């Protein structure tokens, strides 16, 4: 039985909903995007599901009774404010009367305290097991990557002087003592437009009067959204008054970067010359020049790169844009199964993330170990990331509980959504989860049971079908699934069923959700570009299908 948590009114008796059969969840779920793998079997019953992560008060973050003003001190030094926005951001700046400088003063959170470890390898970072050879890296060069995602974001870094060139990731973040490979792309503002919290603290914050939680704002930079703002999915949360999507991106990047600098410096000390580090920012494959330029301007405004002196005239060139599948290809090139391929053969990277699914086909030109490959074509599939499973599930719950409004209050709906997002979304595998002998369907004692075939038809298939259709009938020799959504057991099962007979290798690395961040940092360590120029120019992008 799929039991999506327990509502806030457990004693309310309600009649069963529907007549279809539910399914049991008894197997171990795949790791959630950005969260360390589960170590025990998951049950979708209330005792095994933690309540929704609404555990932080915005006015008691990090032990403070109230949020300090932007000019307050952190660790004994004044918290820096980002520079005022200089670049123009196209349509998002038209007729804007907001005080931009005032809206870009996010709070700088102190690093959380962590117990000391006697093992020098147990850092608050994750080390890649596949470094580049020393001969292909610049001595002492620091490369930092930011995988800015629709639902989760992460930071990776590396240097020839650190762990023999192994790429590492930040794992500890403000708001939790646990380790997370990624943090929610989420930010909370007060009624004045000032940042109250970001990342985990924002996602887990109790709502307070006047505060606004913002998520999924990366989707506003999709090409169709930039061309026509009315094309933006109406299910996306509204923006705060007077804010443009680019303002939210600047604020989030600033908060994340300031914290990342603290963590990297803590881990590697004086080796971390972050003022002169190369910074790599990932973007979807099908973003046009306008979206990439807006993202670049936002990153510069957020302070990801800065001038270190009067002679540092090329400081902006230290910020690089790399597509998400290209970065993932760098990481996946070290997979053993991929080494079975020979020159002239092709492989596809399917980067299934929270908001979009990016596809790119590469042809091997020479040595795969040094990534002598060429990109043949690339494209993005809109509205088929894992986020849209959440949105469809919310619509389904509202439909099923239409006759039970007591269970559609904000707290109960958030609880059901949390249970689905944290467990069921990646654990569900399809028909094998249906149980025709279980008569319990609907709402019983506050516990919601949804039939497996109904969940598949209304939630999973509409999204997964888009992914498999995007992959099309192209002739490829290997297909690699990466990104947070790639952890879906049902998605992987469907891909195997559809492509298993004609694709020699279908693989999903164990760290698929962080392949983009780690690959981008690894890309930056090389002395020369690892991926050759695109064979099919992006202005005449070839379709995969």
**Does the fold of domain 325-384+471-540 match that of domain 56-68+98-322?**
yes
Give Cα separations from 74 to 110, 259, 267 (angstroms). Answer: 6, 11, 19
From first CA to last CA, the distance across the chain in angstroms is: 38
Query: pLDDT tens, 507-527?
Result: 888 789 999 999 999 988 876
Q: Where are the alpha helices (DSSP H) in 319-386?
A: 324-332
Given a cut of 70, whether residue 113 has pLDDT beyond it is: no
356 vs 170, residue with greater confidence? 170
184 vs 41, residue with greater confidence? 184
Yes or no: say if 12 and 446 are a contact pair by the CB < 8 Å rule. Answer: yes
Yes or no: say if 364 and 373 are a contact pair by the CB < 8 Å rule. Answer: yes
111 vs 392, residue with greater confidence? 392
Yes or no: say if 434 and 453 are a contact pair by the CB < 8 Å rule. Answer: yes
Q: Which residue has the tokens 């019953």?
A: 45
Q: Where are the alpha helices (DSSP H) in 420-514?
A: 425-427, 452-455, 461-471, 489-499
* Topology of the domain covering 56-68+98-322: Nucleotidyltransferase; domain 5 (3.30.420)
Question: Is this prediction's pTM over 0.85?
Answer: no
Residue 196 is predicted with a pLDDT of: 94
Residue 279 is predicted with a pLDDT of: 95
Residue 147 is predicted with a pLDDT of: 96
Residue 258 is predicted with a pLDDT of: 95
Average pLDDT over residues 390-419: 85
Which backbone phi and psi does 184 adopt, to 5 degrees?
Answer: -60, 135
Give the H/E segment covering residue 517: helix 515-525
Q: Which residue has the tokens 């999973």?
A: 460
Yes or no: say if 26 and 41 are a contact pair by the CB < 8 Å rule. Answer: yes
Residues 430 and 100: their CA atoms lie apart, in Å, by 48
Residue 126 is predicted with a pLDDT of: 37
Residue 252 is predicted with a pLDDT of: 98
Collapsing DSSP to helix, strand or coil, 342 comes out as coil
- Superfamily (CATH) of domain 325-384+471-540: ATPase, nucleotide binding domain (3.30.420.40)
147 vs 204, residue with greater confidence? 147
DSSP 379: E
Yes or no: say if 423 and 35 are a contact pair by the CB < 8 Å rule. Answer: no
Yes or no: say if 201 and 225 are a contact pair by the CB < 8 Å rule. Answer: no
Average pLDDT over residues 103-124: 33
Instruction: Map 307-325 to HEC letters.
Output: CCCCCCCCHHHHEEEEEHH
Residue 230 is predicted with a pLDDT of: 76
Q: Where are the alpha helices (DSSP H) in 350-481?
A: 387-400, 410-419, 425-427, 452-455, 461-471
Percent above pLDDT 70 for the chain: 66
Domain regions of the chain by residue span = 2-53+386-462, 56-68+98-322, 325-384+471-540
170 vs 338, residue with greater confidence? 170
Q: Where are the alpha helices (DSSP H) in 60-103?
A: 100-103
Number of neighbours of residue 191 by Cβ within 10 angstroms: 12
Given a cut of 90, whether residue 201 has pLDDT beyond it is: yes
Residue 288 is predicted with a pLDDT of: 87
Query: pLDDT tens, 240-266?
Result: 989 999 999 999 999 999 999 999 988
385 vs 89, residue with greater confidence? 385
Comparing CA positions, the residue from 149, 224, 544 lying closest to residue 375 is 544
Residues 531 and 539: their CA atoms lie apart, in Å, by 18
Q: Which residue has the tokens 């939680």?
A: 213
State the pLDDT confidence band at 25, using cuts at 50, 70 and 90.
very low
Residues 487 and 482: their CA atoms lie apart, in Å, by 8
Which residues, at least 6 apart from 135, have a Cβ–Cβ distance to it below 8 Å? none
Average pLDDT over residues 70-86: 37
Q: What sign does the dihedral 512-514-520-524 (CA atoms) show?
A: negative
Residue 542 is predicted with a pLDDT of: 34
Average pLDDT over residues 325-339: 83
């Amino acid at each position: 039985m799929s039991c999506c948590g327990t509502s806030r009114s457990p004693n309310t008796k309600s009649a069963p909903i529907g007549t279809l059969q539910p399914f049991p969840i008894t197997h171990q779920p795949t790791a959630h995007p950005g969260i360390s793998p589960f170590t025990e079997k998951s049950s979708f019953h209330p005792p095994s599901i933690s309540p929704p992560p609404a555990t932080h008060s915005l006015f008691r973050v990090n032990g403070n009774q109230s949020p300090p003003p932007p000019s307050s001190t952190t660790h004994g030094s004044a918290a820096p404010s980002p520079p005022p926005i200089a670049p123009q951001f196209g349509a998002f700046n038209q007729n804007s009367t907001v005080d931009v400088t005032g809206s870009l003063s996010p709070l700088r959170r102190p690093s959380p305290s962590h117990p000391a470890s006697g093992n020098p390898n147990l850092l608050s970072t994750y080390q890649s097991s596949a470094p580049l050879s020393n001969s292909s890296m610049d001595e002492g060069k620091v490369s930092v990557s930011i995988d800015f995602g629709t639902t989760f974001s992460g930071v990776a870094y590396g240097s020839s002087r650190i762990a023999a060139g192994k790429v590492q990731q930040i794992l500890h973040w403000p708001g939790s003592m646990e380790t997370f490979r990624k943090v929610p792309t989420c930010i909370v503002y007060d009624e004045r437009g000032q940042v109250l919290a970001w990342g985990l603290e924002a996602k887990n914050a109790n709502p307070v009067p006047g505060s606004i939680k913002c998520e999924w704002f990366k989707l506003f930079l999709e090409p169709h959204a930039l061309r026509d703002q009315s094309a933006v999915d109406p299910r996306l949360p509204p923006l705060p008054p007077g804010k443009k999507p680019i303002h939210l991106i600047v604020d989030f990047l600033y908060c994340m970067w300031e914290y990342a600098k603290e963590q990297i410096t803590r881990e590697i000390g004086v080796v971390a010359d972050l003022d002169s580090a190369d910074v790599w920012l990932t973007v979807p494959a099908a973003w046009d020049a306008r979206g990439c330029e807006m993202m670049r301007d936002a990153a510069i405004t957020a302070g990801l790169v800065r001038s270190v002196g009067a002679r540092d005239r090329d400081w902006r060139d230290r910020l690089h844009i790399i597509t998400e599948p290209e970065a993932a290809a760098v990481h996946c090139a070290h997979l053993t199964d991929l080494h079975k391929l020979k020159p002239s053969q092709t492989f596809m990277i399917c980067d299934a993330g929270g908001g979009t699914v990016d596809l790119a086909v590469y042809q091997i030109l020479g040595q795969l170990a040094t990534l002598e490959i060429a990109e043949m074509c690339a494209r993005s599939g809109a509205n088929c990331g894992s986020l849209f499973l959440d949105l469809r599930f919310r619509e389904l719950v509202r439909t099923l509980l239409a006759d039970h409004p007591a269970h559609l209050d904000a707290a109960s709906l958030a609880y059901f959504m949390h249970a689905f997002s944290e467990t069921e979304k990646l654990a569900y595998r399809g028909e094998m989860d249906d149980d025709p002998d279980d008569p319990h369907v609907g709402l019983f004692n506050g516990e919601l049971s949804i039939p497996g075939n109904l969940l598949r038809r209304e939630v999973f298939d509409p999204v997964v079908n888009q992914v498999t259709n995007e992959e099309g009938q192209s002739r490829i020799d290997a297909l690699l699934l990466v990104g947070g959504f790639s952890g879906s057991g049902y998605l992987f099962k469907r891909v195997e069923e559809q492509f298993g007979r004609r694709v020699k290798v279908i693989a999903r690395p164990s760290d698929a959700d962080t392949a983009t961040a780690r690959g981008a940092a690894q890309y930056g360590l090389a002395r020369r570009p690892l991926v050759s120029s695109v064979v099919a120019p992006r202005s005449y992008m070839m379709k995969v299908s």
